[in-house]
Chains A and B, each alone.
Chain A
Amino acid sequence: MTNRVLIKGVEAVALGALEGGCDCYFGYPITPQNEIPEIMSVELPKRGGAFVQAESETSAINMVLGASAVGKRAMTSSSSPGISLMSEGFSYLIALELPCVIVNVMRGGPGLGGIEASQGDYFQAVKAPGHGDGRFLVLAPASCQEAYELTAKAFELADRYRNPVMILMDAILGQMKESTVLKKLNIKSITKDDWALTGAKGREARIIKSLFLDSAELAERNLKLKKKYEQMEKEVRFESILDGNEEVLVCAFGSMGRIAKESVLKLREKGYRVGYFRPITLFPFPKKALSSIFEKNNSLKQILVLELNCGQMVEDVMISVCGKAEVISKFYPPSVLPFPEDIEREIKKCLRKVYFVSPKV
Chain B
Amino acid sequence: MLKESLFRFPKSLKRTNFHYCPGCHHSLVHRILCEVIDELNLRERTIGIASIGCACFIYNYIDVDMVEAPHGRSCSAGTGIKRARPDLIVFTYQGDGDFAAIGLGDSLHAASRSERITAIMINNTVYGMTGGQASPTTVIGQKTTTTPFGRKPEEQGYPLKVVEILSNFEGVAYAARVAVNNPKRVMETKKAITKAFLAQLEDKGFAYVEVLSACPINWKMDPVSATKYVDKLTEIFPLGVFRETF
**Among listed A112-120, A199-207, A262-270, interface-contacting one:** A199-207
A205 and B37 CA atoms in complex are apart in Å by: 14
Question: Knowing A56-B105, A58-B73, A67-B83 touch, does A200 contact B63 (C-beta < 8 A)?
Answer: yes
In chain A between 324 and 350, which residues have their CB closer than 8 angstroms to a CB of chain B?
none
Assess the B81–A70 pair: CB atoms within 8 A: yes
A280 within 8 A of B: no
CB-CB nearest in chain B for A53: B113
A72 and B46 CA atoms in complex are apart in Å by: 17
In the complex, what's the smallest C-beta–C-beta distance from A170 to chain B, in angstroms?
28
Question: Knowing A96-B68, A206-B65 touch, does A200 contact B80 (C-beta < 8 A)?
Answer: no
Assess the A64–B80 pair: CB atoms within 8 A: yes
A360 within 8 A of B: no
A191 and B193 CA atoms in complex are apart in Å by: 35
B30 within 8 A of A: no
Assess the B45–A63 pair: CB atoms within 8 A: no
A88 within 8 A of B: yes
A299 within 8 A of B: no
A205 and B82 CA atoms in complex are apart in Å by: 18
Assess the B83–A96 pair: CB atoms within 8 A: no
Assess the B81–A66 pair: CB atoms within 8 A: yes
Q: How large is the interface on B (under 10, 10 to 19, 20 to 34, 35 or more residues)?
A: 20 to 34
Question: Knowing A199-B65, A200-B43, A208-B66 touch, does A66 contact B84 (C-beta < 8 A)?
Answer: yes
> In the complex, which residues of chain A have a beta carbon less than 8 angstroms from the beta carbon of B84?
23-24, 50, 66-67, 70, 72, 74
A26 within 8 A of B: yes
Most B C-beta atoms less than 10 A away, residue of A50, A92, A199, A210: A199
In the complex, what's the smallest C-beta–C-beta distance from A119 to chain B, in angstroms?
28
In the complex, what's the smallest C-beta–C-beta distance from B29 to chain A, in angstroms?
19
In the complex, what's the smallest C-beta–C-beta distance from A133 to chain B, in angstroms?
17
Assess the A207–B106 pair: CB atoms within 8 A: no
Assess the B83–A69 pair: CB atoms within 8 A: no
A83 and B45 CA atoms in complex are apart in Å by: 33
Assess the B70–A62 pair: CB atoms within 8 A: yes
Per-residue 0/1 for B22-58: is the Cβ within 8 Å of any A Cβ (1 yes, 0 no)? 0000000000000000000001111101100000100
Assess the B56–A211 pair: CB atoms within 8 A: yes
A209 within 8 A of B: yes
Q: When the two chains form the complex, which single residue of B45, B77, B113 contacts A65, counting CB atoms closer than 8 Å?
A: B77
CB-CB nearest in chain A for B82: A66
B69 within 8 A of A: yes
Most A C-beta atoms less than 10 A away, residue of B66, B83, B84, B106: B84
B64 within 8 A of A: yes
In the complex, what's the smallest C-beta–C-beta distance from A64 to chain B, in angstroms?
6
Most B C-beta atoms less than 10 A away, residue of A26, A68, A96, A207: A207
Question: Knowing A55-B105, A198-B65, A208-B68 touch, does A63 contact B56 (C-beta < 8 A)?
Answer: no
Assess the A200–B44 pair: CB atoms within 8 A: yes
Q: When the two chains form the complex, which single residue of B50, B65, B67 contacts A66, counting CB atoms closer than 8 Å?
A: B67
B85 within 8 A of A: yes
Known interface pairs A59-B76, A201-B45, A209-B68; 8 further A-B residue pairs with C-beta atoms within 8 A, sorted by A's residue number: A54-B109, A59-B105, A62-B73, A62-B80, A65-B73, A69-B67, A92-B69, A200-B43
Please, could you name 28 A-B residue pairs with CB atoms under 8 Å apart, sorted by A? A55-B105, A59-B79, A59-B105, A59-B106, A62-B80, A63-B76, A63-B77, A65-B73, A65-B76, A65-B77, A66-B79, A66-B82, A66-B84, A69-B77, A69-B80, A72-B85, A74-B80, A92-B69, A96-B67, A96-B68, A197-B65, A199-B43, A199-B44, A200-B43, A205-B64, A207-B59, A209-B50, A209-B59
Closest 4 pairs (CB-CB, A-B)? A66-B80, A63-B80, A67-B84, A62-B76
Residues of chain B at the chain A interface (Cβ within 8 Å)? 43-47, 49-50, 56, 59, 63-70, 73, 76-85, 88, 105-106, 109, 113
